[in-house]
Amino acid sequence: MAANLLLVDDDVELTEMLGEYLENEGYSISYADSGEAALARFDAGEAYDLCVFDIMMPGISGLELLQQIRPKISTPVIMLTGRGDDIDRILGLEMGADDYMPKPANPRELLARIKAVLRRSAAMVAPKQAEEFSIAGILLNTQTRIVMAKDQPLALTSAEFNVLHLLMEKAGTVVTKEWLTEQVLHRKLTAYDRSIDVHVSRVRAKLDQVEAGLADLIKTVRGEGYQLILPQGQ
């Protein structure tokens, strides 16, 4: 069954070109030429497998649109940003975007990003063999994809869950940013790409909301990557 995608951009000509390319690749495409039009679709109960939002739109921007829908739906979102807009990219990731790419979007690269995001949001939902990890009051189940921290449910995006899963699986050892990027985002780490750092930062922030200091379990190893520290006795 073809994945259903929503493209949201006020540049109608570019969006139709991207949509035609993606339709030829087997995807079902819907369009919205503004944030307001996209919100109307969501309010009408329309559901999508993945959305692509342009950040710079008149009226409701892509960031505002993401901020409004994220508390209600977990649909993966890829943000399109102007070249060099690092702050917007980081804000998008912090608000719950799954990935971003610069405009003008190359159709082949966008296709690759869509495939990667869909793989990580769906392919890991039901692993062949369920695993459960329990470290310092954090309980993670790979089959249900439920995380409990100090007996409280922890709401994580797909990328955040996968980051925490890998850190817990490799607890006590340092994992490189390059490896985490390949495993979580399904792409090579490139210069100035802070996506994986933002996802780790989001996991830390959510852990600290449960209990102050809980985020200290995830240690930054300068020049190398990250390590989830095993408490003494575990």
User: Is there a domain that residue 20 lies in?
Assistant: yes
pLDDT digits (tens, 9 = 90+) for 182-234: 888 878 888 878 889 989 999 999 999 999 999 999 999 998 999 999 887 66
34 occurs within a structural domain: yes
Q: How far is 159 from 84, CA to CA, in rounded Å?
A: 23
pLDDT number for residue 232? 73
- Give the whole-angstrom CA distance, residue 123 versus residue 133: 20
Q: Is residue 128 pLDDT above 60, yes or no? A: no
Confidence of residue 107 (pLDDT cuts 50, 70, 90): very high
Q: State phi, psi for 33 to the nearest 5 degrees.
A: -95, 10
Report the CATH number that the domain containing residue 102 is assigned in CATH: 3.40.50.2300
Residue 81 lies in a domain: yes
Boundary (domain end) residue, out of 123, 144, 169: 123
H or E element: which one contains 42? helix 35-43
Give the CATH number for residue 150: 1.10.10.10
50 and 117 part of one domain? yes
Q: What is the pLDDT of residues 8-39, one digit of tens each?
A: 999 999 899 999 999 999 999 999 999 999 99
d(CA 227, CA 77): 28
Structural domain includes residue 67: yes
Looking at the structure, tell me whether residues 36 and 57 fall in a common domain.
yes
Same domain membership, residue 100 and residue 18:
yes
How large a percentage of the chain has pLDDT more than 70? Answer: 94
Q: What is the mean pLDDT of residues 136-164?
A: 91
Q: What is the pLDDT of residue 180?
A: 94
234, part of any domain: no
The tens digit of pLDDT for each residue in 69-103 reads: 887 888 899 999 875 566 777 777 877 888 888 88
- Greatest Cα pair distance in the chain: 60
> Among 79, 97, 123, where does a domain finish?
123
**How high is the pLDDT of residue 217?**
95
* Nearest C-alpha neighbor of 196 from the set 209, 186, 210, 207: 186
Cβ proximity of 50 and 77 under 8 Å: yes
Query: Do 174 and 195 share a structural domain?
Result: yes
Please check whether residues 40 and 102 belong to one and the same domain: yes
Q: Which of 123, 152, 177 is the last residue of a domain?
A: 123
Beta bridge partners of 138: 135, 149
Q: By C-alpha distance, which of 161, 160, 159, 133 is closest to 145?
A: 161
Number of domains in the chain: 2
Domain containing 140: what range? Answer: 132-228
Q: Which residues of 126-165 are buried (b: 16+ CB within 10 A; e: fewer)?
A: eeeeeeebebbbbbbebeebebebeeeebebbbbbbbbbb
pLDDT at 1 over 80: no
If you write DSSP's letter for every residue of 105-158 in order, what string do you get?
PPHHHHHHHHHHHHIIIIITSS-SS--EEEETTEEEETTTTEEEETTEE----H
Hey, what are 177's tokens? 């940013």
Exposed/middle/buried for residue 12 (C-beta within 10 Å: 0-12, 13-18, 19+): exposed
104 and 159 in a single domain? The answer is no
DSSP 81: E
pLDDT of residue 23: 95
Instruction: For residues 160 and 172, give the distance between their C-alpha atoms in angstroms, rounded to a whole number.
Output: 19
Residue 233 in domain: no
